[in-house]
Amino acid sequence: MGQILNSTARPRSLRWAGAAAVGVMLLGGVLWLALRPGAAPAAAAPAVGFRIAASAIGNPEKISKELQTAGPLGYAIHLGVFQRELARDGFRFDGVVGFQRTAAALLGMMSGQAELASTGDSPAVLSRARGEQQRALYVTPPSDTQSGFWVVGRKGGPATLDALGGKRVGLLFGSTFDYAFQTAAQGLNLKDVAYTQLPSSAALPALQNDQLDAYVTSAAVAKLWVDRYGLTLVGKLGDVPATGRTVSVISARADFLAANPRFAAAFWRGLKAGIDAIRKDPEAYYRWSADSTGYPLDVVRATSSIDFEDRPISDAGAEALKKLLAFRVEHQVAQAAFSVDDWVVRQ
């Protein structure tokens, strides 16, 4: 029996040896094909380009790296760290598409002019409530800087927030300013406020000519108008307990995220690089903000928040979005409710 086993083992071992020899020859052939002179290297996959829609000065049809967005995203782009982080995963930043309002930036994103949009919370929530297929990539903590939005008034006009009942108040309907003031007005029990839809460029002359009693705007704009033109600081909405807390949102088209599952993590790395740079040297960030926005440096220091979190979706920010959505649905401004938890992209 031992001889029979030995006699059958020899041919089997020879067969394995032959197969191994053939394998080596094939491997050698593959290596030779790959390394032979003149062999073309494997082509790298092309980078996936993307654009960011934002409220910026410039032609909405123009794509330019000179158009800037604010905050840590804008700073990361300015430093180049955002582009480098995205390039590591095969993405190419193709610039900012500028719009006059953030609501228009969202419409531009959904129409294919951009893949992302940097906006306030109300436009982003109302967009999703309309059924537009976009997801929230980044949600900031609620901003408490200098008590949030300010209300600036004409000279000789109302001097306090609770004196605005029956007065003419300008704001942008459906905006974050609108939400903040509406919740504050509800808490102050203001009656018969006459609302006027006005951009800030039209609001300043209206206040100066006594055609408007008050205007709701950012702390930076309000402080500039008070300091430079002698207008009245009526009040800071954040000082009213009932005022809805507001956040900023960066959203992306759902189809773009589905086609590029690595993008969300790469985007956060790029944005986080900007946050880290701000924490390392806040003064450099303030100087850049002043240069890029045209606001005086002292105004930027007083009104810019650098309270960032180490994650893309702030829990407090998500809760603020839920309250905003409920308020908009209750007042029949939002078309339908939706799950904020499903909307945000958590990592």
Portions of the chain given CATH number 3.40.190.10: 48-143+246-343, 145-239
Higher confidence at residue 58 or residue 214? 214
Q: Which helix (H) or strand (E) holds 7?
A: helix 2-35
pLDDT (tens digit, 9 = 90+) per residue, 3-34? Answer: 333 333 344 343 333 433 333 333 333 322 23
Contact between residue 141 and residue 275 where contact means Cβ atoms under 8 Å apart = no
pLDDT of residue 291: 87
Nearest to 232 by CA among 174, 159, 293, 136: 159
Q: Could you give the percent of the chain with pLDDT greater than 90? A: 65
Chain position carrying tokens 């380009």: 49
Handedness of CA 190, 195, 251, 238 (dihedral sign): negative
Fold of 48-143+246-343: D-Maltodextrin-Binding Protein; domain 2 (3.40.190)
Model pTM score: 0.79
Question: Tokens 């609620």 identify what position?
Answer: 142
Distance, CA of 309 to CA of 318 (rounded, Å): 13
- Could you read off the pLDDT of 149-177 as tens digits, one per residue? 899 999 999 999 999 999 999 999 988 89
Contacts of 207 (CB under 8 A, 6+ apart): 152, 153, 154, 214, 215, 225, 231
Strand order of the sheet with strand 150-153? 194-197, 168-171, 214-217, 150-153, 232-236
What lies within 8 Å, CB to CB, of 346 at 6+ separation is 312, 313
Section 106-132 average pLDDT: 96
- Residue 344: is its pLDDT beyond 60? yes
86: its two tokens: 């995205």
**Long-range Cβ pairs for the range 174-178 (8 Å, 24+):** 174/103, 174/122, 174/123, 174/126, 174/333, 175/101, 175/102, 175/103, 175/120, 175/122, 175/123, 176/120, 176/121, 176/122, 176/123, 176/149, 176/246, 177/149, 177/216, 177/217, 177/218, 178/122, 178/216
* Identity at 124, one-letter amino acid code: A
Contact 142, 245 (CB under 8 A): yes
Q: What is the mean pLDDT of the chain?
A: 84
Dig out the tokens for 84 from the structure.
Answer: 């480098």
DSSP state of 49: E
CA 297 to each of CA 55, 119, 287, 335: distance values in angstroms, whole numbers, following the listed order: 21, 23, 6, 41
Distance, in Å, from the CA atom of 260 to the CA atom of 258, rounded to the nearest integer, reads 5
Q: Which CATH architecture has domain 145-239?
A: 3-Layer(aba) Sandwich (3.40)
Indicate if the pLDDT at residue 134 is higher than 70. yes
pLDDT in tens, 192-239: 999 999 988 899 999 999 999 999 998 888 998 999 999 999 999 989
Q: Output the pLDDT for position 28.
A: 34
pLDDT (tens digit per residue) in 275-288: 999 999 999 999 99
**Minimal CA–CA distance to 92: which of 285, 307, 263, 295?**
263
Residues 6+ apart with CB under 8 A from 133: 110, 253, 254, 255
